[in-house]
Structure formats: structure tokens, C-alpha cells
Chain A
Amino acid sequence: MTAPLAFDVIVLGAGPAGATCAATAAEAGRRVAVIDEQPRAGGQVWRAPMGGFPGKGDADQAAGDALRQRLAASPATGLLGHRVWSVVRTESGYRVDTLGPDGPTALEAPSLVVATGAHERVVPFPGWTTPGVIGLAAATVLLKSHGVVPGRRLVVAGCGPLLAVVAAGLVKAGAEVAAIVDIAPRSAWLSRLPAILGQPRLATRGLSWAFAVAKAGVPTLSGHGVRRVEGGEAISRVVIGPVDADGAPVEGPEQVIEADSLIVGHGLTTASEVTRLLRAEHRFDRLRGGWIPVVDGAFQTSLPGLHAIGDGAGIRGQAMASLAGEALGWHLAGRTAEAAATRARMAAATPFSDAMAGLMAQRPAQVRAIAPETVVCRCEDVTRAEIDAAVDAGATQIDQLKHFTRCGMGPCQGRSCADTVQELMAARLGTSREAVGQWTGRPPLRPVPLGEVIGAFSYVDIPIPTPAPL
């Protein structure tokens, strides 16, 4: 076996936060490796076009191209298309194991930057596992990166900025959007307008999305949510109904919409698997997307040399992620004046970031209204009723629930359901999210074929401990 590759800094995630941090630190002289699961840098927000799609040529693509060019021109080593499956603390820092297109790679560095971004939250409803139901974030991948409209007649539902982005993107692509179903009453956007207008460039973009949708004459149902999806092997109908401002269903007429695609999402939750795996201290922050690592003024977690930035350290959006990446990059290069100046720019962007995060946050009432027969854990087909029954049978902490039901034990390792399940448990127990806790992080971080992880080795390389004396 070869020794791990040595760096000063390893960055996990090549989105706006991670790629900016890697480029900044590398340009300032640090030896940096940056790793991402995707084949090109940019993260989800600035995802690169692939598979022959030239891209939409919009502002996001231009920003992503600029970041990709900067990273490529920097001395940072990029391990793209590499899945990180193990991260451990060592005597001198951190060791990261990846599986890339050419096999396994091991890296070591005294500093580790976790910039792993966010996962989409989809609050379950009956039928949400039906083929043809996809996330809002999934639709942005298809539209921005693959150049694909995922259906013939589509319903776009949920809440938050992504809802508007996807709806406008589909309309601009000439798709037939049967309806836009928004949980938020119209007033929710208006009440946040002052903060949004503090960022004129982004506010203008939001208005242009709304305008594109209005011009196409797409019916928009504010204060409505998806009740259920019908169809066996694939979606055929979406049933919607009125909801209150918190997303919980209220009395009112249901509407049935024929569709072959439902695109639905309810905000973002932090991807904190790596800091959780390393047992860094976390705190629950509903506005910021759930459990987030506790960090100091230099983005350092409770563990020395372990830093967390971007949406994975609390949902703040791309602008804040890029700034945090730059600030930490300067900090890791010992350039404290530049780091402080960049942090000051973050403070100015905070009101807008808070307003957007509020639109992305979990609505507890919506989760608590999930019907008993609804599958909550997709991997293991665990329903709301089974979760409640486990709590009634004595599960008081989230790991106990896993032992009782297998909820969160499947291949996604709770990425899709954790935020929902924890809220359901807290509701049933009448306790706090802190008391319920979060699942203990375990390797592997991603499912990987064992044979490929082992790689090529010789039996003589296997260390054999000295036998104990008889």
C-alpha cells in the first residue's frame, strides 16, 4: 500500500465555499487538495453542464465557469469524481479516503475543511416514492446541467426560492407546467421584501422569475400543498389541497391534477455527515437548516484543524458560501488582514441570507401533519405509524428508533429522512430536537464496492501484530 498523499489542507466539496477556499489558500502558497463527488467543480448551485448539453449560458453558468477556471489555474490538486467514504482523525490531523474513477486514494493533512453543502428536504406525503416524483433540486440539476425537462405535463410544488427557480426554468424551456403549488401565502414573500431589496441584484432576479411564470399564464396556487400522488408504477395524478401558513392541511376542496411529473421540495437541510462522523460539537438551529457544527470566528469546529463553511455549516446561500470560502482560504494561508476584510463583507450580506434561510427552513406543523400510512424512511419503507409505535414502545432517542425500526439504516444513511424523523419523534415525545438528538455518524459515508475500496495490495503488506507471549 502506498502512503497517503500529504497536503497542508484538504477541502471536502468543490462548490462555491469549498472551491473558493481551495483556490484562495493554494494561490497564497498552501498545498491544497479539493475533493468532490461530481466530475466538475461548482457544487449544485453552479453545476457544470455535462453529457453534450452546452448549458443555458445564464449568470449561474458564467459564475460557475469563472470558479472552475480559477480553480484549474490555481496550484490546488483537484480530485473530482471522487467519493469520500472515510474520514478519520490521526495524530497529526486528518486522513481522508476516496474512491475515484481510477480506484482508491488516501490523503492526509493537518487541516480539513468541510464544505459539503446541503440536501434537499422533501416532507413526505402518500405516494412520494412513486417513480416520476423528484426533488426541486433534482429538477435544477436536470435543467441546468443535463438540459432535460423531466416530463410532459408537470406540477411544481413546495416552498422557497427553488420553487420559483424551477417553475421559471421550466416555463422558459417551453414545458407544460400544469400548476405551481406554493405552501406560502403570498404575504410570506412580501414580509421579507425589505431584506431582499437589500440585495438588488438578487431581488431583480427573483422578480424576473415571477414575471416569466406570470407571462406564461401558469396557474399558481398559493397556500396549497400536495395531499397525495396517485399512480402505481409511475405518477399519473397529483392531489392538492389548502394548507395553513405552516404547511399543515386545512379544510377545503381538493383538486386533482393530471401530470406525469411532480417536482417537489421544502427547503434545504445541512449535509453534516463528516463533522458528525468526527464527533465535532453540533447545535440545532432550525433557521439554518437543522443540526450544524459549532464554529468559532475562524470557522473552526470544536476539533482542532477541522473547519466547516458553506451551507453545510448552516444554510446561508451561495453569496455567503463564497465569502466564507475566501475568508477561510486567507485564514489558512496566515493572511489575517485579508481574512478579516472578507468577514466584514459577510456581515453586510447577513439580512438577505437570513430572509432566504427563513423560506428554506423546516415547518414543524407540516411535518407533524404527515398521515400515519406515509412512508417516511424511503430506504427501509418505514411509515409514520411505525415511528410513532416505536416511540410508544419506549424509544426516546433517535439511535434507539433506528434499532427499533431500521429507520435511517438504509443506503442513504438518513440523508433523506433525518430532519423529518427527528421532528416526528420530538412531537410524539413532547420534547425538544436536542433531546432526540441526531444519528451517530458511521463510516462508510457513501456505499462503496468493497473490492474497489481495497484496491490492489499484496498480502505481505498486511501488518501482523506480534503474538502475545504465552
Chain B
Amino acid sequence: MTARRLHAAPERVAVTIDGAPAMLPAGESLATALLCEGHVLLRRSPRDGTPRGAFCFMGACQECAILVDGVVRQACLTPVTAGMAIALRGAP
């Protein structure tokens, strides 16, 4: 899935994704920013370990719950801020 922005992305800020440095647009929804960077796979389901990505983008389904600075956050409700340490749970 290669998502595409219809506008010029806002100024990017430095974050880390699974420890690797990355630049994401400040203020954009983290779920959307990750999607546009090609991170479709966000986590694995706890029981069967099947791959999962953001699904509802509005805070209901909990599929985009990843670790931000060590706390489980719904990426779709979390705006990108500078210095975020993002951990995709179980994704390669």
C-alpha cells in the first residue's frame, strides 16, 4: 500500500521508529503519517499473531494501538510530535 498526500506535508520532525531515525510531518495523525511512509503493518494480533494495520482511523477499532514513548497509544488519535519514540509492536 503506497499512500499519497494530496498536499505538501507540513514541516517534518525527527522521531524514531523501532529505534531507527525517521522524519514525520509534525501535527499529522501518527497513523496517517506511518501509512504515508509505507508502514502498513503496525502490529500483530495477540492470539494468532496475524499482521494488522490501521483499520478505522477514528479511534474505535484499536487496531493501530502501538507504543509511543513506552505507552500504548492509538496512532490515529496521536499527533506526530518531535522526538517521539515509536515502537511497532511485532512488526518487522
> Interface on A for B, CB 8 Å cutoff?
37-39, 44, 50-54, 83, 119-120, 129-135, 137-138, 141-142, 146-152, 173, 175, 232-235, 260-261, 271, 375, 378-381, 410-412, 415-416, 446-447, 449
Contact = CB atoms under 8 A, between A and B. Distances in A.
B1 interface: yes
Contacts of B45: 129, 378-379, 381
Given A50-B27, A148-B6, A234-B41, A135 B1 contact: no
A125 to B, nearest CB: 14
Contact of B40 (A54, A131, A148, A412): A131
B20 interface: no
Interface in B20-50: 25, 27-29, 32-33, 35-36, 40-42, 45-48, 50
B26 to A, nearest CB: 8
Contact of A449 (B2, B28, B72, B80): B72
B50 A381 contact: yes
Given A52-B28, A146-B28, A147-B7, 16 more contacts: A51-B80, A53-B5, A53-B7, A130-B53, A132-B40, A133-B53, A138-B54, A141-B58, A146-B32, A147-B6, A148-B36, A378-B45, A378-B55, A411-B65, A416-B56, A446-B59
- The 6 A-B residue pairs whose C-beta atoms are closest, nearest first, are A131-B53, A52-B10, A51-B28, A138-B57, A411-B62, A381-B47
A446 B71 CA distance: 15
Interface in B61-85: 61-63, 65, 71-72, 77, 79-80
Contacts of B79: 39, 50-51
Contacts of A148: 3-6, 32, 35-36
Contacts of B8: 52
Given A148-B35, A235-B1, A131 B61 contact: no
A210 B54 CA distance: 28
B90 to A, nearest CB: 11
A39 B79 CA distance: 10
A8 to B, nearest CB: 28
A151 B3 contact: yes
Contacts of A232: 51
B89 interface: no
B40 A129 contact: no
Contacts of B77: 37-38, 83
Nearest to A262: B1
Contacts of B58: 38, 44, 137-138, 141
A381 B48 CA distance: 7
A250 to B, nearest CB: 28
Contacts of A38: 58-59, 77
A232 B71 CA distance: 28
Contact of A378 (B3, B63, B72): B63
Given A129-B52, A141-B58, A152 B27 contact: no
A150 B65 contact: no
A135 B64 CA distance: 13
